Structure 1
């Protein structure tokens, strides 16, 4: 397929490059003949793109596969202004390689394309076809600065990083033989899905941590308190004060009673029984 065909696929969304800032291009090209769809919408979801890409790779067309991830890439980075050459393409090596091979591309992919799922699918498909010597490699290129970062030379830094990544990709393409498939995708938001890694479960009892008695006794023995006696110990507590007050009330009552008993003045003979004639007359 000529370069103009690939450029046309990526240029369909030229006027919407800024409108879909959360989208990214997807490019698949191979040395094998792929049965690409007759028409390709240039705005698709990640699930739709992965479904089509897996259908193209289901037959395991080649023995070597390169999954190239270029985070934060947009369609404008691989779009050429001229349909006859790739001189205006910001990644000329990628545009040249994709234009000279049997390729399939989508300009605006909304969502995250997982390179791990593609790698697992290719390995599974080639295993089912019983092909030997199949290799799947993943290439992680440097993150590109954000498109909106145009201050302080942001656009220049983006072009510099893009050129370095394209140079690295060009050196990798030079080492390939005539039997390979390359998939270029991007995560525009530089988001990586969280994959929890749980170890073996640990069983332990939840209880309050307590020191051994001998450790506590040893620590208390080593501790010295140099405070004064009346600061170290409390001699008068609220309970002691209350006992003193109650004791004073009881003692005062007891004192009044004893004083009343002591004030009685009765002769000793007042309680003796009269036995004489006078007593008999009183009884009558």
Structure 2
């Protein structure tokens, strides 16, 4: 149930997957927001921070928990096999939450938000004393990602247990996008009729020369490569075009008299 709730809130179109430099933003509060949050699934960091600071300017709750998770993206949360961070999904489904602002893709830098200092300053202006805690989870890497999620969720659970003891708290979870890692995918080697895929257990040239000599000719040597085939096809096409042009020039029929000067009576009258 918890996973379905956060997955529906974080659902977005497939086109958003193209934003590798974006990250999710989750702002939850037991106090309702005076201004309705934008429903856009893709927003800039400036617009998200503007709304967040506007919502926190009145110091709406007594406790604040700010959690940062570097390297997280929305696809990590909305997986088909369940929620990778159960405590994060659970707090989203808390019945005490009256204000929710969840942005699937935040494009821009969020590292210099300094929301902890902003909250303390805003609460001091309102004459309130608020408890502000920050949790910096370990960055995620492509290796051991599942184990990192489990460890970070346990650390998040400890902070949530303390922050959600009362009925007045605000929870902010955000991430900074990690560097995209290129993982090459190698396709199966191209097979042609003239080049067979020789198994590793077949004799090599450096092994038994007697068995090597018994192999068929096309298993010993490679006479053509894909590059040679492409060059031959290109040459055939160009030669066909050239032959058409030569035949077109050869089909022209012009009499020799067309190039002689007209010396008839009509031409003499024109010259006069």
TM class by smaller structure: 0.5 to 0.7
- Does the CA-based 8 Å contact 1:42-1:108 persist in structure 2? yes
Partner of 1:46: 45
> In 2, Cα distance between the equivalents of 1:54 and 1:33?
14
- Does the CA-based 8 Å contact 1:24-1:110 persist in structure 2? yes
Question: Normalised by the size of structure 2, how large is the TM-score?
Answer: 0.58
1:130-184 CA-to-partner distances (Å, cap 9, x unmatched) read 112x121211100001xxx4xxxx3xx1111012101211122122312211111
- Unaligned 5+ residue runs, structure 1? 82-86, 191-284
Partner of 1:244: none
Distance 1:124 1:55, change over 3 A: same
- Does the CA-based 8 Å contact 2:37-2:51 persist in structure 1? no
Within the alignment, does 1:173 sit opposite 2:160 as a pair? yes
Bigger Cα Rg: 1
Task: Measure how far apart 1:11 and its partner are.
Answer: 1.5
- Does the CA-based 8 Å contact 1:17-1:75 persist in structure 2? no
Distance 1:120 1:128, change over 3 A: same
- Does the CA-based 8 Å contact 2:3-2:82 persist in structure 1? no
> In 1, Cα distance between the equivalents of 2:30 and 2:174?
18
- Does the CA-based 8 Å contact 2:28-2:170 persist in structure 1? yes
Partner of 1:95: 89
Task: Tell me the number of residue pairs that the alignment of Structure 1 and Structure 2 aligns.
Answer: 173
| Aligned counterparts, 1:123-272, within 5 A | 123-132=120-129, 134-145=130-141, 149=142, 154=143, 157-176=144-163, 177-178=165-166, 179-189=168-178
> In 1, Cα distance between the equivalents of 2:153 and 2:26?
14
- Unaligned 5+ residue runs, structure 2? 180-272
- Does the CA-based 8 Å contact 1:27-1:106 persist in structure 2? yes
Partner of 2:11: 11
CA RMSD of aligned residues (A): 2.2
Query: 3-state SS of the aligned residue for 1:89?
Result: coil
Partner of 1:34: 33
> In 2, Cα distance between the equivalents of 1:126 and 1:29?
18
Task: Measure how far apart 1:61 and its partner are.
Answer: 0.9
> In 1, Cα distance between the equivalents of 2:112 and 2:6?
22
1:239-266 CA-to-partner distances (Å, cap 9, x unmatched) read xxxxxxxxxxxxxxxxxxxxxxxxxxxx
- Does the CA-based 8 Å contact 1:26-1:109 persist in structure 2? yes
